[in-house]
């Protein structure tokens, strides 16, 4: 299954920015006051925001896994993960 490309404005967002907007969308949809067509539109945006957040978390996890610990438990070095 091919992933769809994220809208440019979402791709530029930090994790925190995307989560904040996603929370706003969830609140709107939970409120039940949004018209059907608008609900579909913001749901699609919410799905894109969710994908973006999941990707950011995956990238962070990979970076954490790259940390090499010394025998005494302190961090020896951190290697930037490649996401290409």
- Residue 44, in any domain of the structure: yes
Torsion-angle region of residue 59: left (phi > 0), alpha (psi -120 to 50) or beta?
alpha
- Residue 1, in any domain of the structure: no
Calculate the dihedral angle through the C-alpha atoms of 59, 53, 13, 61, rounding to the nearest 10 degrees: -20
Q: Which domain holds residue 44?
A: 14-77
The Cα 8–Cα 78 span in angstroms is 30
Higher pLDDT, 76 or 8: 8
What is the rounded average pLDDT of the residues 20-43? 96
What is the rounded average pLDDT of the residues 48-53? 97
Global pTM? 0.75
Q: How many domains does the chain have?
A: 1
- Residue 83, in any domain of the structure: no
Write the pLDDT tens digit of every residue in 52-74. 999 999 999 888 877 765 556 66
- Residue 2, in any domain of the structure: no
The Cα 53–Cα 19 span in angstroms is 7
- Residue 8, in any domain of the structure: no
């Amino acid at each position: 299954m091919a992933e769809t490309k994220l809208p440019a404005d979402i791709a530029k967002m930090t994790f925190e920015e995307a989560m904040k907007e996603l929370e706003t969308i969830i609140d709107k949809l939970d409120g039940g006051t949004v018209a059907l067509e608008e609900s579909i539109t913001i749901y699609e945006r919410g799905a894109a925001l969710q994908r973006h957040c999941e990707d950011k978390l995956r990238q962070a996890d990979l970076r954490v896994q790259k940390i090499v610990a010394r025998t005494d438990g302190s961090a020896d070095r951190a290697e930037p993960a490649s996401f290409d």
